[in-house]
Chain A
């Protein structure tokens, strides 16, 4: 069974731009969660989608948003990028309510 895939793997943007990251979960998994990983803050929860609905949300500003499609693929969007948004963005999928999450390789976002 193929694992969680994320595209692109690396991205460089400038301040003020927006970015969209994509995640394809493991086949059959309906829950997709997004995390931000930085050296300063570690792994922090952004939001979780289940059956096209955002079910849970972490403590991030409204510039961070996401969505999930009927095939469970998910995208997250960050608008008006700031330098502090530079991070590894990880997507994880689960077959149940966010338990036993399986992570993708991440998208490394650099904001200049």
Chain B
């Protein structure tokens, strides 16, 4: 049969604006979360991580917020640049020691 691709949520922002990418995770017992960026033709690139004993962590131009009450994770990118255009994945640490990935969000930055 015909292969149906994942319907990736898309976020389109103007260069210089802030971007917020959201993610819902499944396991309330997960204690580790990561955001990855994947550009076309490349493997996922580590952006930032956070453990469940924190609710906020900042990196260079990026901030991750964790809301354990509603099992929600967000990635904020300040002053978004064209080079930030990519698919962004959140991942949670699984019980098998693996990473469980979300579906991804495609970020497009308009110059």
Our verdict on whether A and B bind, yes or no, reads yes
* CB nearest neighbor in B for A86: B3
Number of interface residues of A (CB under 8 A): 27
B25 to chain A minimum Cβ distance, whole angstroms, is 14
Chain B 63-101 interface residues, beta-carbon cutoff 8 Å to A: 89, 91, 93-94, 96-101
Interface centre among A56, A101, A102, by most B CB within 10 Å?
A101
Q: How far is the CA of A51 from the CA of B94 in the complex (A)?
A: 20
B43 to chain A minimum Cβ distance, whole angstroms, is 4
Interface string of A27-39 (1 = CB under 8 A from B): 0000001010001
Residues of A within 8 A of B6 (CB): 39-42
Q: How far is the CA of A103 from the CA of B41 in the complex (A)?
A: 13
B96 and A101 contact, CB distance less than 8 A: no
B98 and A99 contact, CB distance less than 8 A: no
B103 and A45 contact, CB distance less than 8 A: no
Residues of A within 8 A of B89 (CB): 43
* CB nearest neighbor in B for A108: B41
A39 and B5 contact, CB distance less than 8 A: yes
B101 and A43 contact, CB distance less than 8 A: yes
If over half of B's interface residues share one DSSP class (helix, strand or loop), that class is named, otherwise mixed; here it is loop
B32 and A45 contact, CB distance less than 8 A: no
B98 and A42 contact, CB distance less than 8 A: no
Residues of B within 8 A of A44 (CB): 101
A104 and B43 contact, CB distance less than 8 A: yes
Residues of A within 8 A of B34 (CB): 100-101
Q: How far is the CA of A48 from the CA of B96 in the complex (A)?
A: 9
A55 and B97 contact, CB distance less than 8 A: yes
Q: How far is the CA of A42 from the CA of B104 in the complex (A)?
A: 8
B97 and A48 contact, CB distance less than 8 A: yes
B46 and A102 contact, CB distance less than 8 A: yes
Is A21 on the interface with B (CB-CB < 8 A)? no
Which residue numbers of A lie inside 8 Å of B, CB to CB? Answer: 4, 33, 35, 39-45, 48, 55-58, 90, 92, 97-106
